[in-house]
Amino acid sequence: MSNNYWLKRWQNNDIGFHEQEVNPFLDRYFTNLNVKHNGRVFVPLCGKTNDIAWLLEQQFKVVGSELSEDAIIQLFDSLALIATVTTYGALKLYQAHNLAIWVGDIFALTTTLVGVVDAIYDRGALVALPLALRGKYTAHLTKITHNAPQLLICCVYDQSQRDGTPYSVSAQEVFDHYHRVYTLELIKCQRIKNGIKGVEPANALVWLLHKNNC
C-alpha cells in the first residue's frame, strides 16, 4: 500500500476510518500510563483525529505525524488553531500552542525532530499498515521515542475474509513486535458490534506497553 493511496483517500475525502467521536478506550484507559502533567504524547499517523482535542483538553502536549497535509490543515481548522509551518527537508512541521504535527513520511522522523516523548497513543497506525511494513514501523517507533510507554488499540478478525484496513493484528504479533523492549499487558478485549466491515466475529484489543527496566 503506497503513500499515494492514503494521499488520494484524503484528497477524495474517502475517510471512513475517521471516528467522529473520541475513542472511548482513550478516555477510559489513558490514565493507566501515568503520564505527568504537561507530558508530551506522540500520536503516529494521526489524521485529524478528535482524540487529539481530548489529549489537549487534559493538559497534555501532543506531537504527531501524518502523511497527508490536507488532514492536518483540517485538524488545525477543527481546533481553531492557526499553525506556524516550518519546512525541514522532506517534512513540514505544523505547530501552535501545545500541538506539533510532522507532515510527511513517518520513517523520515528522527529522535531529534520528535523530541522528548512521555507516552505513545496508537489507535490507527499499526492497524493501517500491511504486514510487510509493521515490523519496520514498530522498530522505528520505539527508536524515535526511546521506548516510551504506549496505549495501543488493535483489532482482531479473520483477515482472509477481506482485504484492507483496518488490518487484523493478533496478540501474538503484538508480542513479537514489542516484547523485547516492553512489558505487555492486555487490559481489554471487547467485541466489535457488527464486526469489521461486516466480518464477524471481531474484537478490539487494548494494550498497555510499559518500558522494560532491564
Which residues neighbour 127 within 8 Å (Cβ) at sequence distance 6 or greater? 153, 154, 155, 165, 166, 167, 169
- The answer to the question of whether 10 is labelled as a binding residue is yes
The DSSP call for residue 82 is P
**CA distance from start to end of the chain:** 36
Report whether 66 belongs to an annotated binding site: yes
Is 9 annotated as ligand-binding? no
Query: Count H helices, E strands: the chain?
Result: 7, 9
What CA–CA distance (Å, rounded) separates 18 from 89? Answer: 29
Question: Before 166, cis peptide (omega within 30)?
Answer: yes
Q: Is 54 a known ligand-binding residue?
A: no
CA angle 182, 101, 8 (to 5 degrees): 100
Using DSSP, state whether 93 is helix, strand or coil.
Answer: strand
Binding residues for S-adenosyl-L-methionine: 10, 45, 66, 123
Binding residues: 10, 45, 66, 123
